[in-house]
């Protein structure tokens, strides 16, 4: 850690400056900012020179800076830049200022100001005095006039800083701001000659000093590794990154609204499971110390939620993180967010309907339209979504009729002729699914329900009322990706036990993703579960669809990555 910076005196209490008279002044002005006092708007409480407390103590002007560790740094480079800014912090403190004040009274968000003054003509002045806060994103210095662009969560605005208005000391302090610093300013709304909406700054307070420089102001951050590892920097400089997560938020919010409107109750069920059931996937294993027992992170929400249907809750849903110990790709993150719902007295057709409503509403709420462009095809989510049987799609793709009632050997032959490798333990339904995945899945562009999955790959689904080899199950595919999975829920405890036992023997035969017999779940079913429709939607993939991105990492804030090797230069 030869280049490690330690700000002196800030690890101990009291700090060396805590006893100084200047510091007591700062404390007093902090009190002026505190919530307990009557909150008058503005009122000149922000000293125009509060950054260095009125003292004309100036920064080194020869381009060198002394880091707190005493090492001299010249020129640029990350370490030199951090040293220069750290030295600025020390100077502010030495002059009795506070580079990291406690709070700031903001009168408006930037978007509020922008909408209030949307019709202001070029070259206008107003009586609208505001206090706004944001991060300095751009700066243009023309001698006795400085233009800064600051940004808050809602928007950006220009600060118009005139030496004649703010005074020499205040002007020098604004000049010493770096891109990335947070500031709070007070002033009147105006427009420049070119019509740019601005705040004519009379007071400027540093709210937080950035010690590390921002990525390129124009190109932003494009190195994907850095973007994901330093998501904070990505969010600061990349508009798209912020937009993707706004969309994600709007989608989840929209789902909650749609579900609340249809009488669903949001619940939370355990993440730590004794048995990881409800899906075919390899789980993460963990351990509880006091109970001294092995636990699994959940791979699905299903079995707990259906226990609640047994309990009579009728309509429940959960939006929660699930974990699957499998490969990572543009479509898979080891932890991801699933929405599952269960509705008593409904069957799979009701569930397909609500799937369309949820996703169409989400698009409308998140991007204001149901029109999407998928692989250069214009898709209106509001159009009805086709419903195609899996066996029909697969049969058509290979030009041969297939059905799970056919002898396994015949299906194996057909699969092999169509370049699908068949594993020895696969049952007929699994072979059909493999043919579908190899020959149909990737070609599906617009939202399409694939229905009627074979019984042997659907241990929790109810048998199709018209075909004993199939189930009343569907999966939703869009752009070659599976987004949702739902079915008429199997509620016969005797049949469910038989299906679980088939799962267990497959697992014991070496198929690690298969399930086990969940005795407590069977006990629940014995109390009687009403006819029920259930649904699971991968929220990350819905967000990918609506945001129009090809990688799940664009809609997961902190995707799973290998640990970074930290160096002095990081």
Partner RNA sequence: GCGCCUCUAGCUCAAUGGCAGAGCAGCGGGCUUUUAACCCGUUGGUUCAGGGUUCGACCCCCUGGGGGCGCACCA
Contact partners, residue 103, CB within 8 Å, separation at least 6: 33, 34, 35
Provide the H-helix boundaries in 132-238. Answer: 163-166, 168-175, 224-229, 231-237
How far from the centroid of its chain's Cα atoms is residue 256's Cα? 16
CB closer to RNA, 30 vs 216: 216
Interface stretch with RNA, choices 357-365, 390-398, 402-410, 455-463 (CB under 7 A): 455-463
Plot region of 295 (φ>0 → left; ψ -120 to 50 → alpha; else → beta): beta
CB closer to RNA, 495 vs 564: 564
- Shortest approach of RNA to residue 270 CB, angstroms? 18
Per CB under 7 A, contacts with RNA among 522-551 are 550-551
CB closer to RNA, 280 vs 306: 280
Per CB under 7 A, contacts with RNA among 260-299 are 278-281
Per CB under 7 A, contacts with RNA among 198-217 are 198, 213-217
- Contact call for residue 355 and RNA (CB under 7 A): no
SS (H, E, C) 25-55: HHHHHHHHHCCCCCCCCCCCCCCCCCCCCCC
Residue that is written with structure tokens 């989400």 in the block: 362
Per CB under 7 A, contacts with RNA among 75-94 are 75-78, 80-81, 84
Interface stretch with RNA, choices 54-62, 248-256, 383-391, 399-407 (CB under 7 A): 54-62
Angle at 252 between CA 248 and CA 254, to 5 degrees: 115
Residues in the chain, overall count: 570
- Shortest approach of RNA to residue 269 CB, angstroms? 16
- Shortest approach of RNA to residue 263 CB, angstroms? 25
The string of DSSP letters for 483-514 reads EEEEEEBP--HHHHHHHHHHHHHHHHTT-TT-
By CB under 7 A, the count of residues binding RNA is 83
Interface stretch with RNA, choices 158-166, 343-351, 391-399, 540-548 (CB under 7 A): 158-166
Tokens found for residue 568: 């002095």
- Contact call for residue 240 and RNA (CB under 7 A): no
Per CB under 7 A, contacts with RNA among 296-335 are 300, 324, 326-332
Interface stretch with RNA, choices 28-36, 74-82, 105-113, 249-257 (CB under 7 A): 74-82
Residue in 485, 488, 496, 532 binding RNA, rule: CB under 7 A: 485
Distance CA 529, CA 522 (A): 10
- Contact call for residue 501 and RNA (CB under 7 A): no
CB closer to RNA, 88 vs 361: 88
Distance CA 197, CA 120 (A): 8
End-to-end Cα separation, the chain, in angstroms: 12
Residue in 220, 334, 493, 548 binding RNA, rule: CB under 7 A: 220
Per CB under 7 A, contacts with RNA among 407-446 are 433, 437
């Amino acid at each position: 850690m030869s280049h490690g910076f330690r700000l002196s005196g800030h690890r101990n209490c009291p700090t060396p400056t805590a006893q100084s008279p200047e510091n007591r002044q700062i404390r007093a002005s902090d009190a002026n900012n505190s919530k307990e006092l009557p909150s008058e708007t503005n009122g000149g409480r922000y000293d125009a020179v509060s950054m260095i407390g009125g003292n004309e103590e100036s920064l080194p002007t020869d381009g060198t800076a002394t880091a707190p560790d005493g090492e001299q740094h010249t020129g640029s480079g990350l370490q030199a830049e951090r040293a220069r800014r750290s030295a600025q912090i020390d100077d502010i403190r030495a002059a009795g200022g506070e580079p990291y004040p406690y709070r700031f009274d903001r009168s408006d968000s930037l978007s509020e100001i922008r909408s209030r003054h949307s019709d202001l003509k070029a070259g206008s002045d107003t009586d609208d005095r505001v206090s706004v806060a944001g991060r300095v994103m751009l700066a243009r210095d023309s001698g006795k006039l400085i233009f800064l662009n600051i940004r808050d969560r809602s928007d950006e605005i220009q600060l118009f800083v005139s030496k004649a208005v703010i005074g020499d000391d205040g002007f020098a302090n604004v000049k010493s701001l770096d891109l990335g610093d947070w500031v709070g300013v007070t002033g009147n709304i105006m427009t420049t000659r070119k019509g740019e909406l601005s705040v004519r700054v009379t007071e400027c307070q540093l709210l937080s000093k950035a010690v590390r420089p921002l990525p390129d102001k124009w190109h932003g951050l494009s190195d994907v590794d850095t973007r994901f590892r330093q998501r904070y920097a990505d969010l600061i400089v990349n508009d798209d990154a912020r937009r993707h997560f706004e969309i994600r938020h709007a989608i989840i919010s929209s789902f909650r609204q749609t579900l609340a409107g249809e009488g669903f109750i949001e619940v939370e069920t355990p993440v730590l499971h004794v048995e990881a059931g409800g899906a075919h996937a390899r789980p993460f294993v963990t351990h509880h110390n006091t109970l001294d027992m092995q636990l699994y992170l959940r791979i699905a929400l299903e079995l707990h939620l259906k226990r609640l249907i047994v309990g009579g809750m009728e309509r429940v849903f959960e939006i929660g993180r699930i974990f699957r110990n499998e490969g990572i790709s543009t479509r898979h993150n080891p932890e991801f967010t699933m929405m599952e719902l269960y509705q008593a007295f409904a069957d799979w057709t009701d569930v397909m309907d609500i799937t369309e409503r949820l996703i169409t509403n989400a698009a409308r709420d998140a991007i204001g339209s149901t029109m999407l462009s998928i692989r250069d095809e214009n898709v209106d989510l509001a159009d009805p979504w086709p419903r195609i049987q899996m066996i029909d799609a697969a049969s058509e793709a290979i030009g041969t009729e297939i059905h799970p009632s056919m002898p396994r050997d015949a299906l194996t032959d057909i699969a092999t002729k169509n370049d699908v490798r068949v594993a020895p333990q696969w049952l007929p339904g699994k072979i059909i699914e493999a043919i579908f995945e190899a020959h149909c899945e990737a070609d599906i562009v617009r939202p399409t329900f694939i229905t009627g999955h074979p019984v042997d790959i659907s241990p929790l689904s109810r048998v199709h009322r018209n075909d004993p080899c199939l189930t009343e199950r569907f999966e939703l595919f869009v752009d070659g990706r599976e987004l949702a999975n739902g079915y008429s829920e199997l509620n016969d405890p005797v049949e469910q036990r038989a299906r679980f036992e088939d799962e267990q023997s497959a697992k014991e035969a070496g198929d690690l993703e298969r399930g086990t017999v969940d005795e407590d779940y069977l006990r629940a079913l014995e109390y009687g579960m009403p006819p029920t429709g259930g649904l699971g939607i991968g929220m990350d993939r819905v967000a990918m669809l609506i945001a129009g991105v090809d990688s799940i990492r664009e809609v997961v804030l902190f995707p799973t990555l290998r640990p970074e090797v930290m160096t002095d230069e990081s």
